[in-house]
Amino acid sequence: MSAVVLAASLALVVTTGIVEAHSAPSWLSRLARAVGWLSVEQLPATPSDTVVVFGPKTMALGAATSGTFIEKFTVAAPQSGGYLLRVTNGPNGAPRMTGGTVSLNGAVVFTATDFVALPSGATRDVPVIAAAADTLIATLTGPANAAISLSLLTVPDPTFTVFGPRTFERDNGKPVFVTSNFTLPAGARPPSFLCIRNGELDGSRRNSSSRVILNGVEIIGPSDLNQQVAGFLKPVTFQATNVLQVEMNGSPGSRLTICGMATDSLKPQLTITAPTPSFIMRQTQIDAVGVVVEQTAVKITVNSQLASVTPGTAGQTSFIAHVPLTTEGPNTLAFSAVDAAGNRTDSTRTVIRDTQAPTVTLNALPDSATVRADSSLTVSGTILDATAVTANVNGQPLAIDSASHTFSRSITLASGMNFVTITATDAAGNATSVVRQITVDHTPPTLTVTGPAESLITKE
């Protein structure tokens, strides 16, 4: 049975599943994944990612006091994420509906009791499953000109599996009674639910008479099940340790598949693998790389830029973001991981952008100078840069004073022409070389006197 067919036949228990618009969890998306109804897909992870896929559609009674409205629409590539049907009673100042029902693909998702509880102008969101082709039927009652507004939204999913899914089958003979024990994992909090799939995905092997008991309280009874019910959610309260008892009655071979879902309260575990703290580079863009461990869908941003994610195993999601470095010098990278329940983890890294080569100044060593030296010459000066610098003179290391940024080293020169090369390289790889041509002359000038002659006597 496909997800489309399932959506058309899934019966939902929604009388206690109506929540405020700003906090509604997309329970059905996780339910669908847990029991194999839909494929796993990476989902958006913050309320701001809610997207309208149908509507808003206003349905008004006009002069009548009742009416039936039918809307058919399509959803391109229905995803495994959750959907909410948003109901506004009495939009834009119109009178409110006082009764009726709303069905999506054959499942009643909003009842007369819900209309009574929804004040004029108020909005409620109901978790639903959408199909590729959808039919929305609203049978409404109210005063003249009463109206409602309906929209279908995609939403993030804050729940994760805490039990199952486990399939229970009715054998021949006496009713089957099975007990399962499970411990609530860390981070599980309300709202929490039991999800029930009745029979197989193709509609076969459905059960019409069974009981499900959680911690001594009957959660599902025979009145909740029949051959038309494909599945539903039941809000429950889990304990630290739980006992689930299933009594399978009805036709031999019929089945129930049960899972437990709870809302995530743990913050994502964010690990930054690159860049390292205080990383120095001369490029104007850096790859921010890391891993997030999270049991619901997660959105990762770096400097508000959405990172590309690759889901892995055991809840790990790898990410990468190509982040521009806009400032010479220190740049702050702000990492943020937000899960579908709104839990958030933040971290920062500082990256230093250095595109300027070091400045090298030599003391009293002009180019093309001729000096008299026995065997050595002292080379000195200063080297300035925004980051740490290494330097050498003719390949020999130069020690640079960290406070004054000065250096001094004696080098050996040969008689005649010499080249003195001082090279300074900063931490980003920018380099500056200064070359001086130095001629060493050890030979004194040759002086020849042509006159007067030696010991010359003259009367002048």
The pair of structure tokens assigned to 452 is 């007067």
Q: Which pLDDT score is estimated for 441?
A: 79
Q: Which pLDDT score is estimated for 14?
A: 30
Q: For the residues 324-350, what does the mean pLDDT come to?
A: 94
The pair of structure tokens assigned to 76 is 């391109």
pLDDT tens for 97-132 read 999 999 877 667 799 999 999 999 999 988 776 777
pLDDT tens for 157-195 read 788 889 999 999 998 888 889 999 999 999 999 988 888
DSSP 118: S
Supply the pTM of this predicted model.
Answer: 0.66
Q: For the residues 232-247, what does the mean pLDDT come to?
A: 91
C-alpha 249/C-alpha 214 separation (Å) is: 17
Question: In whole angstroms, how far apart are CA 141 and each of 62, 72, 135, 147?
Answer: 11, 21, 20, 10
Burial of residue 106 (number of CB atoms within 10 Å: 0-12, 13-18, 19+): middle
Q: For the residues 24-44, what does the mean pLDDT come to?
A: 37
For the sheet containing 123-128, what is the strand order?
51-60, 147-155, 82-89, 123-128
Residues 367, 436 contacting (CB under 8 angstroms): yes
pLDDT category of residue 15 using cuts at 50, 70 and 90: very low
